[in-house]
Each structure stands twice: as structure tokens, then as C-alpha cells.
Amino acid sequence: MSDTVARTVTAVNLLTPGLALGKEYTAENVDDQVWEALVKRTDGSLSNPAEMNIEGLRGYAVRLRAVFVAIDEGRIDDACGVVNELLTETGAAPVLARHDKEPWHLHFHAVDAEWARSWAAPMATSLAVILGNPVYDRLGVCTASACDRVFVDTSRNGTRRFCSTACQNRVKAAAFRARKKN
């Protein structure tokens, strides 16, 4: 799985309210988590926190989440429609860029794009790559009760159903308790 797809899942799960691990999840006060998960560079350095527009990214995350939900419900056309809208809106297009003393590398947004858009454009692009392949059904929503976090199934056999091991273990423990009770 690409780093961008992983960051897409992280952004959607951090920035959209719902249910997580059996509890209500408000998606509030997550600036530090977003900072750590998305903005911190792989070399450990950090980009400028003043540029962060969490609310702007939250708006994109809600729409990116709709892609996972549509795929989970078997609505590929709806998912592709949302991704196409995001690709257009964010101006997602490949461009080679060099900044911060890094070598030339590929971006999917204009180098001078606003912070949230500069994250949403490659996220939409990564989902477009998945949707354009036969494995698009590897995008999913957790099937554990009281959890609606999203995931990308990277297992060999394509049978992942949970967002995390914690949710998988909750379901298994509940099933075990139910069997013991009977």
C-alpha cells in the first residue's frame, strides 16, 4: 500500500466523526494527531504548522470517506463520481517539484497549492488509482459493531473486514462469550 493511500485512510479516520472501537468518535481536537500522522515528514523533520488548515482537510476527508462507503455498499459508479469531482476541484495533476533541499519528486498538486488542497489532491489521486483497478473492492468500512472507520485491505486473500486488530478482537471475544453462554 502506498504512503498516500495510508495517509488517506488516516485522514478519513481522524477527521470524520462516527464510531470507533465501540465508542462515539467526535473527530475533535485532533490537530496534534493530524500533525504527527500526516505532516511529519518521513525523515523526522516537520513542515510549517502555521500552514495547516485542518478544517479544510476535514471537508475533503468527509468526501473521501464517501468513496469508502460507496465501495463498501457496492456503488462503484458513485465512488468514481466523488473521486472525479475531487480530482477536478483540487486540480490534481502530476508535476515534478523540488523544495526543502529535496531532489526532484512527483506531486499531484500545484507546488503553490493551499495546504488542505495539497493533501487532498494526492489522496484523491491515490483512490483513483485503486478505483481504476480490479482490486477496488479492497476499500472498506469496518464491520465490527459500533465502528465505522475505513481501511484498505492489503491481505493476500482480500478478506479483511476490520479497521484494526482491536476491532477484530472485540468481535471474536463477543462471539466467544456468546458461544460460552449457550
pLDDT in the model for residue 46: 47
* Domain contains 78: yes
Query: Is residue 49 domain-resident?
Result: yes
Which of left, alpha, beta for 164 (phi over 0: left; psi -120 to 50: alpha)?
beta
Burial class of residue 55, CB neighbours in 10 A (0-12, 13-18, 19+)? exposed
Taking the CA atoms of 112, 116, 120 and 123 in sequence, report the sign of the dihedral they define.
Answer: positive
Number of domains in the chain: 1
Domain assignment present for 110: yes
The answer to whether residue 155 sits within a structural domain is: no
**Domain-located, residue 83:** yes
pLDDT classification of 132: cutoffs 50, 70, 90: very high
Indicate whether 93 belongs to any domain.
yes
Q: Domain range for residue 44?
A: 3-136
Residue 26: CATH number of its domain: 1.10.3300.10
Rounded Cα distance between 164 and 56, Å, is 27
Q: Name 37's Cβ contacts closer than 8 Å, sequence gap at least 6.
A: 7, 10, 11, 14
pTM, full prediction: 0.88
Cell output for 152: 484498505
116 touches 64 (CB < 8 A): no
Q: What is the pLDDT of residues 72-130, one digit of tens each?
A: 999 999 999 999 999 999 999 999 988 778 899 888 988 788 889 999 999 999 999 99
Bridge-based pairing state of the strands 95-97 and 105-107 = antiparallel
Query: Is residue 173, in this structure, part of any structural domain at all?
Result: no
**Using alpha carbons only, what angle is made at residue 129 by residues 5 and 136, rounded to the nearest 5 degrees?**
85
Distance CA 158, CA 138 (A): 7
Give me the pLDDT at residue 50, please: 63
- Helix (H) or strand (E) holding 82, with range, is helix 76-90
Q: Give pLDDT tens digits for 7-66.
A: 999 999 999 999 999 899 999 888 788 877 777 654 444 456 666 788 999 999 999 999
Q: Is 166 contained in some domain?
A: no
